[in-house]
Chain A
């Protein structure tokens, strides 16, 4: 280990199961390398806990390269920590100083119940996708690659929206626990393309009503979601959803 290793104080949310009230628990961790990722630091803490015969801290993680959207952690009051355009796995310990106190909590939202410690159930997002976040494609021969012309501008906007990894940092950072950035990105990525446009009106209605039904809050245009999104998804998607919803609701059969 290199010099400049840090000693950290950690305050981590511990909760046995969905029924447990849960509480913040203090830990101290010595010899944390600034080159570690935040998740590696959590692994180090867990090894220490296991060696001491304690229950390790449960947290979600998968790809550890910023594309799976699993590593949901509220770090020092910010979704995925203090750096912009990063997930927790991409956050390095060099963002912290020796002696710092680091507070780690799970996402907080009625629609995301805490399963254990830092793990939350984000299947509410799956339900929203199942409500309309797809295109119906008839089976048959593969269509010609360039049979449907798509403007470069729309292709770019759709791709920007499609960068969403469903990590729910938008919900976590929103003071109203609103899912509108996620839902609008998923609506936009399809609505901007001719293949998705066909079902666009029905899609916006069903996805928004599912989002409302699941108990997410309402957007107040603070743009904290955009600021904490690891993929930099713009709130212009929310405006697109707003106007599409209104026209769709008026025209609905």
Chain B
């Protein structure tokens, strides 16, 4: 049983599938996270209430652990695959040119956009989850004033710029990652693969654009 599991996990095909599956599940997290954060546009009260509901729900620990496992699996498998792929060609080419009909900017920069996302993620958690704690009372309930924290944080042009750059990077990562996950999992058909590639770009634009709009909005909210 264990031998079968180990053998399965070490197969090249399955390693790709783990990358794809964890990537898609992380895409699901991005959708949820963006949907919640868009409450910033609705108002401080709604955004803070949303944050409060998340933080005070005991299931948050289960969700955080699950996300942690997904992220570590995605990252760990990426490191393993990159190392194996590096070993598969010990002598490099003197000259290597892309055909122009296969690889894209996104597909050839996956390790770099992925690394940038990792750095972003660590800073992002430190800046907000473990950032300064402001409190506010909405409807008689005392809660963390995350709205104030976010607006205050994005008064800095550097912070806004860094955030936008990181979102573009995640967007680029998604344009290849999203459709690629389906390919790895075995979904490929002339009828839906071209559509899947378009959806991949659309999804990347919505996610990156949606998130990037938040700090820009917060920047202009600062004067109030």
Task: Enumerate chain A interface residues (CB-CB to B < 8 A).
Answer: 11, 13, 24, 74, 76-78, 84, 103, 105, 108-111, 114, 173, 175-178, 180, 208-209, 211-212, 215-228, 235-236, 238-246, 249, 252
Contact = CB atoms under 8 A, between A and B. Distances in A.
A226 B180 CA distance: 15
Query: Which of A11, A105, A111 has the most chain B CB within a 10 Å cutoff?
Result: A105
B11 A215 contact: no
B8 A236 contact: no
Interface string B179-205: 110011111111001000000000000
Given A208-B13, A245-B14, A222 B107 contact: yes
Top 6 A-B pairs, shortest CB-CB distance: A243-B186, A239-B188, A217-B88, A77-B97, A227-B101, A224-B102
Nearest to B110: A220
17 contacts: A74-B95, A77-B95, A78-B99, A110-B89, A175-B96, A177-B85, A208-B13, A215-B87, A217-B87, A219-B12, A220-B180, A221-B183, A222-B108, A223-B101, A236-B188, A246-B186, A252-B4
B103 A224 contact: yes
Interface of B: 4, 7-8, 10-17, 81, 84-85, 87-104, 107-108, 110, 176, 179-180, 183-190, 193
A38 to B, nearest CB: 16
Given A109-B88, A236-B190, A218 B81 contact: yes
Nearest to B10: A212
A177 B189 CA distance: 25
B45 to A, nearest CB: 45
A34 to B, nearest CB: 22
A227 B104 CA distance: 12
A239 B94 contact: no
A236 B102 contact: no
Given A215-B87, A218-B16, A224 B99 contact: yes
